[in-house]
Amino acid sequence: MKPFLQKTILFLLLMAAGITVIQAWVSFRIRGKTIRGHDNLEQTSGIDADLLFMGSSRCWAHFDPRFFDSAYGIRSVNIGVDGHSELTMTILRLNDYLARNKAPRVAILSFDPFMSAGTLTGNTNFVHKNDFARYAFFPSRDTRPVVDYFQFDLYERYAPLYALFKYKLFFDAIFLDHVSNWVTYGYEMHDETWDTIARPVTDIMKTQLFKLSEVDSISISLKNLNSLCRQYGIALVCIQTPVYKACYDERLFRETREICSRSGIPFIDTNMEAIRNDIGFFYNSNHLNKRGVDSLNRLLAQDSLFSTYMARLTKTE
Amino acid sequence: MLFNSIDFAIFLPIIFALYWFVTQKNLRAQNILLLVASYYFYACWDWRFLFLLMFSTLLDYYTGLKMHDAPNQASRRFWLWLSIGINLGFLGVFKYFNFFAESFSDAMSLLGLQVHPWTINVILPVGISFYTFHGLSYVIDIYKKRIPAERNFVEYAVFVSFFPLLVAGPIERATHLLPQIKQQRVFNYRQAIDGLRQILWGLFKKIVIADNCAMYANEIFSHSADYSGSTLALGALFFTFQIYGDFSGYSDIALGTARLFGIELLRNFAFPYFSRDIAEFWRRWHISLSTWFRDYLYIPLGGSKGSTWMKVRNTFIIFLVSGFWHGANWTFIVWGALNAIYILPSIVSRTNRNNLDIVARGKILPSIGELGSITVTFLLTVFAWIFFRAESLPAAIRYLRRIFSKTFFQVPYFPGIRTAIPVFVLLFFFFLIEWLQREHQYGIQTFGNRWNRVLRWGFYGLLGIIIYYYALVVDKQQFIYFQF
């Protein structure tokens, strides 16, 4: 019996050690790199930006840091999280950024009726959880809140390779051959036009807009975000970017201004009719394509409030 | 509790430790531990059906004693038929009632009579076909005076419900298993190591081969109208590998687990896809069921003795019953009938025992003739598996029609076909090892035994990592034979 137990235990220990070594090697290999573009927490570390863009996929796809860097001579970073319009996630992402970098002076929140308050404890939105699984194994102090948010379980956190295997990240992590627009451009650039045959025009996205009954909770979350910004001396500005007319709701898109006004946060509305009514600016009903982003940039350049903030950044540069 | 679950990975070492360290010197305590563990294992599926298992055990235990002590043959016959009647009654109610009710209704509607069948809404108790057959073999053996009735209830109950074989076999015989349960087990290092190795190979078969193939087979069978004949043929091949990996993998884990407790179970598979004819295939596939039907049905019916008509009748009976045993669906019955048709020429011409030895024994490659025979036999089984897998007879016929159409010559395609490439590589690797080890009990019994320890353990470790990977990546599939 003794040799059986000795050999079995030794084999299992060696196997566990082997798996741990592979996990350590993969962790080392992906350190500071993104696997699929969404897992960009470390990508933005070490970039001490003056201007920060944050929000959901509408931030991720609408604000081109290269444009602002060259137009205003500043350093900017986009930390929008695709698939996550909860302000809770925005706060988590900002906290993560602040833990790794100097605080920016201005933060732009892409704010619109697609936003929701979200919750830290009972999150039900697991979009791109598989991409964030790279952070699950023995999460660091910085990444733990995001790992908690996605509710990774004990096996995923403490069993080597478990999360990488389960979320099918292992081979992507080894080859690192995924070319992400985010990596290339700093934002998710789409230069295609809307393929309305593959994705017909519908008003289905209207169902994703917040309800008036959610306004109070959103306002509280927005105030929390503003408090966090103030704590770090960051000026928070909200910008509402255009949507295609099919998912436009005048009452709700007006409500965002009211929310910001009540919270004492500057608000810029770029949701202009000229863009909203032209399908050529979009690649789907709520995301601008490159042509749309260029128009957005022009609109912002002409906006006096935005120019004031940019001038403030430029002067001190 | 599935064999390929974390629950079982915790359960097994605990029972192993209690068995060899706490109850080691006390046979009665060891058997009680096995019984409690087995009932717990079964209760993890559905504790309510535990009462059915206990009732079935008590029934056969009691009728066995009554038969043994009966004063005359009539009394013995009464207790035998009581046991058979109640056992098959339970099986009939839980497994076949709805089938008969609906078939009766269909038959009536053909006669122009509308009958609304009264069906029962009850799930099939897992393993009922297996433990019922355990019990039946026990009472029949007592009736035939092959064995005496077992007076120790615990030992009898362990024979029926020993957890490695409880839910999907192998279907044990009292003559083989009961003596092992009754005698003191001594830990045997080689037997235990062999058990672990067999568990590892079983997990590889189940998780890497079967579950991967299941993913593609399920996709192709459930959308068969969308795919070309060549893709459907590929789907049938995937199912062929799935069912082998699934069931023989389960059996390997069961046999390996039993070995850890010093118990040898009946072998259930002997590399069936390397068979040279259908008779050989049936000597190598689900051996414990085939031999059960042979001993308790085929031979009592007269077997292959008597007139040609008797041989034909007996062959059809055994294969139709075997098909029906698998499930209450006409697809299984047609599958059984097909196999009967396949095997019949060899039974009638008395060539069914031509290939009793192992193919190409002592050689690396088979002869051209052997390869041809293996290929033909394999293709016949693939054809039959289509009926086994299909949801219904019309679905099976549609599937076959599509295979034998012009689209058979198109390049096979289904979504995710690229992800199947590593699976093909693993299948090649798997069958290569099985071929090289066909003279042994299972795939890696002696594979690499002569390598130095680093290399050998490295090989086992690699298998372990591949199993770990696919256990997490591929959707876990229920063992196919649990539904039977």
Residue A317: per-residue pLDDT: 46
Tens of pLDDT, residue by residue over B449-483, are: 889 999 999 999 999 999 999 999 988 777 777 66
Q: SS3 string of B221-235?
A: HHCHHHCCHHHHHHH
- Condensed to tens digits (0 to 9), the pLDDT of residues B369-396 reads 999 999 999 999 999 999 999 999 999 9
pLDDT of B123: 73
Inter-residue contact B184 to B27 (CB < 8 Å): yes
Reported as type and span, the H/E element at residue A111 is none
- Interface contact A8-B196, CB threshold 8 A: yes
Which residues on chain B are in Cβ contact (under 8 Å) with A156?
none
The tens digit of pLDDT for each residue in B319-363 reads 999 998 888 889 999 999 999 999 999 988 888 888 889 988 989
CA dihedral B108, B110, B113, B114 (to 10 degrees): 80
- Distance, in Å, from the CA atom of B209 to the CA atom of B214, rounded to the nearest integer, reads 9
CA-to-CA distance for A183 and B249, rounded, in angstroms? 45
Mean pLDDT of B5-13: 94
- B460: which chain A residues are within 8 Å (Cβ-Cβ)? 11
Give the one of A14, A22, A165 whose C-beta lies nearest to B457's C-beta: A14
Q: Considering only CA atoms, give the Rg of chain A.
A: 22
Which residue in chain A is spatially nearest to B457 when comparing CA positions? Answer: A11
> Given pLDDT bands bounded at 50, 70 and 90, which one contains residue B119?
low
What average pLDDT does range B55-61 have in this prediction? 95
Cα(B365)–Cα(A60) distance, rounded to whole angstroms?
60
Q: Which residues of A touch B193 (CB under 8 A)?
A: 4, 7
Q: With contact defined as beta carbons under 8 Å apart, do A60 and A80 qualify? A: yes
Q: What is the mean pLDDT of chain B?
A: 91
B484 pLDDT more than 70 = no
Q: What is the per-residue pLDDT for B423?
A: 93
In this predicted structure, the answer to whether residue B201 has a pLDDT above a threshold of 90 is yes
**pLDDT on residue A243:** 95
pTM, to two decimals: 0.88
- How large is the average pLDDT for residues B412-418? 87
Kindly tell me if the per-residue pLDDT of B59 is higher than 80.
yes
Residues of A in contact with B196 (CB under 8 A): 8
pLDDT at residue B482, rounded to an integer: 67
Q: Which among B460, B461, B468 is the nearest to A165, CB-wise?
A: B468
Angle at A120 between CA A110 and CA A123, to 5 degrees: 85
Cβ contact (<8 Å) for A166 and B472? yes
Q: Is the pLDDT of residue A211 over 70?
A: yes
Q: Please, are residues B106 and B77 in contact by the beta-carbon 8 Å criterion?
A: no
Residue A53 has pLDDT above 50, yes or no: yes
Across the interface, of A8, A15, A165, the residue whose CB is closest to B464 is: A15
Q: Which of B384, B158, B130 is nearest to B278 (CA)?
A: B384
CA atoms of A105 and A52, how far apart (whole Å):
8
> What does the pLDDT read at residue A183?
78
> Whose CA is closest to A130, among A170, A96, A87?
A170
Q: How long a stretch of residues is chain A?
A: 317
Asked if residues A149 and A135 have their Cβ atoms less than 8 Å apart, the reply is no
State the complex-level ipTM. Answer: 0.86
Identify the residue with better confidence: B35 or B416.
B35
Q: Which of B472, B473, B474 would best serve as a mutation to test chain A binding (most A beta carbons within 10 A)?
A: B472
Q: Of A177-186, B16-25, B231-240, B417-426, which one has max mean pLDDT?
A: B231-240
Nearest to B472 among A7, A8, A165 (CB): A165
**For residue A309, is pLDDT > 60?**
yes
pLDDT of B60 above 80: yes
B→A interface, C-beta within 8 Å? 20, 187, 189, 192-193, 196, 457, 460-461, 464-465, 468-469, 472-473
Question: CA geometry: angle at B297 spanning B291 and B301, to 5°?
Answer: 130
CB-based contact A4 B457, cutoff 8 Å: no
Residues of B tagged active-site = 326
In this structure, are residues A237 and A266 in contact, taking their beta carbons and an 8 Å threshold?
Answer: yes
Question: Residue B424: pLDDT above 80?
Answer: yes
The minimum CA-CA distance between A168 and chain B, rounded to whole Å, is 6
Question: In the predicted model, what is the mean pLDDT of chain A?
Answer: 92
Decide: helix, strand or coil at residue A267.
Answer: strand
Collect all residues of chain A within an 8 Å Cβ-Cβ radius of residue B465.
15, 18-19, 22
Considering only residues B119 and A129, tell me which one the structure prediction assigns the higher pLDDT.
Answer: A129
